[in-house]
Chains A and B, each alone.
Chain A
């Protein structure tokens, strides 16, 4: 019997033959943390250890509340900067850089066959490059800094075969929302999800990142795409380390194989207050909203901004809607700037914010008042997530958010393309 990607990589790391269900003790290749590093430092200090065991493995990226929105946030950032310099941590990215998952990827840490653990639930993103990447908690990261060791359960794997071709006006975001809506928020709890099929082979890396990122919203421990030529080409000149592609065996054992055909898929919308409350745009059309967000680790890349600009070019956003644009990273920001994308968006009446998490987690830059409604390209619409618990959040693709911003209500983007 063959093995899945997850069985192979965790077996390799544990230096033994393993199967799904087993618990292994492993040492990761990279350990990610962000603004929560301040809280992790506090836990690390309690361990009575002076130095981080493998500082070269740490990647710390400030992104959640950048620049600091209050004295408390400023103090957190200061604590982190002092720790980074004291521990000689090389892989530190201060506030100009962008959202951790984008910055981690474009700086070549997200590599095929690497084991990456991060103090963020959307660490699953790096599966887009064929890494095993999972989110963990703060105590675990502090312990990893001190001991370089953690136990992990080898997950069962669900294979999702995506066939057909994306219709015009339908994007990776619609595909993953459709899957989450069908399968539910806990379908992949504790499990790995492999995305495969003729359709995803044609997806750009930015689009693959959308699926791997949102695998977390099905409860997945990690997501996975088999690296292809496009992946390897993208990694050329970026990769921070040598790597080896690890793939599932053709006769690997899967917990389930799910088939999706996207050829007749409509744009999708996740309605309040859970990500799996998904409807086709035709069933959510007409819902008025006050704030639009195009950005986040899910959909803040150049291809997302470009789609929005294509729809908004030469037009004005609805006067009752505030449209916030947050490029995922400085690199994506710069590219959009050079290509004139940001000019189009500013002329249309959008507000361009600095790269970072923005209002996604409800800490700053566009908090919702009671009774307000937001339409966002983010990955979560939980009650209270962007501010008031009496606010509502809808999730959709950048195209749907841009088209809806023109009308002031949820709108099918296909009529603008």
Chain B
């Protein structure tokens, strides 16, 4: 359970503005990816974001390209979680597979202000804000397993080792 600053954005934040296409095949290191996070949406973000911060957004977060770096760059920028009204399918999978929690809650998004502070309790499924608490549905066991392992690759590695 960590407190973080809120970075709030609108609907349809696509993966091109989260991680521009021009870097997709030239940057392979996650730390370097993080330096370009949200570059075409909010050019100041990557410099100002602090570990534990939370992105809050509207509908269809992560639409567009399947590039997984969109999730990787946010995770390595220190983003604790993304809370949105809804997520695009491939981004949703990619985020979990990178060990980045994605929480869907329309009420929470409406209730959270940009720049405010929030606290997320993953065990209880709750988001604490200045305007009150919001709940989100708990992750299924399989998803929790991937998140806890730190992503699909370490999760699969462990599974293969057990075999």
Decide if A70 is an interface residue (CB 8 Å cutoff).
yes
CB closest residue in chain B, given A118? B66
A47 and B66 contact, CB distance less than 8 A:
no
Are B26 and A73 neighbours in the complex by a CB distance under 8 Å? yes
Q: A48-B160, A138-B68, A143-B152 are in contact. Are A36 and B25 (CB under 8 A)?
A: yes
Confirm or deny: A363 has a beta carbon within 8 angstroms of a beta carbon on chain B.
Answer: yes
Residues of B contacting A35 in the complex (Cβ-Cβ under 8 angstroms): 25
User: Which of the candidate stretches A86-94, A184-192, A286-294, A341-349 sits at the interface with the other chain?
Assistant: A184-192
B80 at the interface (CB under 8 A from A): no
Complexed CA–CA distance, A123 and B90 (Å): 12
For A274, give its contact among B12, B89, B94, B153 (CB under 8 Å).
B12
Alpha-carbon distance between A231 and B154 when the two chains are bound, in angstroms = 42
Residues of A within 8 A of B153 (CB): 43, 46-47, 139, 142-143
Q: A73-B25, A76-B25, A384-B20 are in contact. Are A186 and B142 (CB under 8 A)?
A: no
B144 contacts the other chain (CB 8 A): no
- What residues of A have a CB within 8 angstroms of the CB of B152 in the complex? 139-140, 143
A residues in contact with B156, CB < 8 Å: 47, 143, 146-147
Chain A 102-121 interface 0/1 with B at a Cβ cutoff of 8 Å (1 = within): 00000000000000000111
Interface code B64-91, partner A: CB below 8 Å = 1, 0 otherwise? 1111100100000000000000101110
Size class of the contact patch on chain A: 35 or more
Any chain A CB within 8 A of the CB of B148? no
Whether B28 lies near A39 (C-beta < 8 A) is yes
**Is B60 a contact of A219 with CB atoms below 8 Å?**
yes
In the complex, are the beta carbons of A72 and B22 less than 8 A apart? no
* Contacting residues, chain B, for A382 (C-beta < 8 A): 14, 16-17, 40, 64
How many residues of chain B are within 8 Å of chain A by beta carbon?
A: 41
Which residues of the other chain, B, contact A135 by a CB distance below 8 angstroms? 66, 90
Other-chain contact of B97, A70, A137, A190, A274 (Cβ < 8 Å) = A137
CB neighbours of A147 from chain B (8 A): 156, 160
A139 to B12, CA, bound (A): 23
Q: Is B98 at the interface (CB under 8 A from chain A)?
A: yes
Task: Evaluate whether A361 and B151 lie within 8 angstroms (CB atoms) in the complex, with A140-B93, A146-B160, A389-B40 already known.
Answer: no
Q: Does B46 contact A (CB under 8 A)?
A: no
User: Is A137's CB under 8 angstroms from B160's CB?
Assistant: no
B115 within 8 A of A: no
Among B13-29, those with CB < 8 Å from A are 14, 16-17, 20-22, 24-26, 28
Q: How many whole Å from B39's CB to the nearest CB in chain A?
A: 8
Dominant secondary structure of chain A at its interface with chain B? loop
Q: Which residues of the partner chain B approach A123 to less than 8 Å between Cβ atoms?
A: 66
Bound together, the chains give a CA A143 to CA B98 distance in angstroms of 13
B94, A385: Cβ atoms closer than 8 Å: no
* A390 nearest CB neighbor, chain B only: B40
Which of B14, B25, B41 makes the CB contact (< 8 A) with A65?
A: B25
Inter-subunit contact B22/A190 (CB<8 Å):
no
Cross-chain pair count, CB within 8 angstroms = 134
**B-contact 0/1 string along A195-219, CB 8 Å cutoff:** 0000000000000000000000001
Which chain A residue lies CB-closest to B41? A383
CB nearest neighbor in B for A380: B64
Q: Would you call B48 an interface residue if the criterion is a C-beta within 8 Å of the partner chain's C-beta atoms?
A: no
B21 contact set on A, CB distance < 8 A: 361-363, 384-385
Is A49 an interface residue when CB atoms closer than 8 A count as contact? yes
Is B59 interfacial (CB-CB < 8 Å)? Answer: yes
**Are the CB atoms of A139 and B25 closer together than 8 Å?**
no
CA distance A330 to B141 in the complex (A): 47
- For A363, the closest partner residue in chain B by CB is B22
For B26, the closest partner residue in chain A by CB is: A72
Known: A47-B153, A119-B66. A140 touches B25 (CB 8 A): no
B157 at the interface (CB under 8 A from A): yes
Taking CB atoms and an 8 Å cut-off, the chain B residues in 24-38 that contact chain A are 24-26, 28
Which of chain B's residues has its CB closest to A361's CB?
Answer: B21
Contacts of B24 in A (CB 8 A): 36, 64, 361, 363
In the complex, A70→B153 CA distance in Å? 29
A151 within 8 A of B: yes
Any B CB within 8 A of the CB of A221: yes
A193 to B37, CA, bound (A): 32
Pick the contact of A47 from B22, B63, B93, B160 — CB < 8 Å?
B160
The chain A residue sitting closest to B59, CB to CB, is: A186
CB-based nearest A residue for B163: A147
Encoded as 1 (CB less than 8 Å from any A CB) or 0, chain B from 113 to 150 comes to 00000000000000000000000000000100000000
For the complex with contacts A139-B94, A140-B93, A147-B156, 17 further pairs of A-B residues with Cβ separation under 8 Å are: A46-B157, A48-B160, A120-B66, A121-B90, A139-B151, A139-B153, A143-B152, A185-B12, A186-B59, A190-B89, A221-B89, A362-B20, A363-B21, A367-B22, A382-B40, A382-B64, A384-B16
Give me the 5 closest cross-chain CB pairs, A-B, nearest first.
A384-B40, A361-B21, A186-B60, A382-B16, A137-B94
Q: List 11 A-B contacts (CB under 8 A).
A: A49-B160, A70-B26, A119-B66, A121-B64, A137-B66, A137-B97, A138-B94, A139-B97, A380-B65, A384-B20, A384-B39
